[in-house]
Amino acid sequence: MKRVQKGFTLIELMIVIAIIGILAAIAIPMYQDYTKRAKVSEVIGAASPCKLSVAEYMSSNNNTLPPDMVASGCQTVVTNQYVDGLTWTGTRIEVTSKVTGAAGLVTLIPQAVTGAVDWVCGGAGTTVAVAYLPTSCRGTKT
């Protein structure tokens, strides 16, 4: 009696390896973009104390923007591996990102609404590519 061998043929194994290669070619760049986006989210998060102090200034002064860094309360900036600095220009917050591949400025622009301040993130002046901005920061309110 002949013994029947069972298993995968070489062609079947080659097809599986090709499919895995195609999936990896698609997934790796998407993962890299996702990690950059997460790092840029941390850059935006670094502006939270400044956003709060600007909003407090505006609510105390009839929606008037603070004139300088001291009045805005943004002079103390915590830098880290992703944040290079933060400035208040008199009309917007500019956070400098030093994320590899997504370095540049992210702007946060205050807009006074009844009883509150809305922030437009990623508007005019932002130099970080839109692909690396979180979806909540693509020229929309935060």
The neighbour count for residue 71, using CB atoms within 10 Å, is: 17
Choose among 80, 113, 114: nearest CA to 99.
Answer: 80
77: exposed, middle or buried (Cβ count in 10 Å: 0-12, 13-18, 19+): middle
pLDDT at 1 exceeding the cut of 80:
no
C-alpha angle 68-70-58 in degrees, rounded to nearest 5: 65
pLDDT at 140 exceeding the cut of 70:
no
DSSP character at residue 132: G
> Distance (Å, rounded) from C-alpha 69 to C-alpha 64?
14
Over residues 73-105, the pLDDT tens digits come to 887 777 789 998 898 988 999 999 999 888 999
Model pTM? Answer: 0.76
Over residues 39-61, the pLDDT tens digits come to 999 999 888 888 989 989 888 88
β-strand partners of 100: none
Q: Which long-range contacts (CB under 8 A, 24 or more apart) does 68-74 make?
A: 73/49, 74/49, 74/50
List the helix and strand counts (H, then E) for the chain.
Answer: 3, 5
Question: How confident is residue 14, by pLDDT bands cut at 50, 70 and 90?
Answer: very high
Beta strands, E only, the chain: 83-88, 93-97, 104-113, 116-121, 140-141
Residue 1 has which token pair? 């009696």
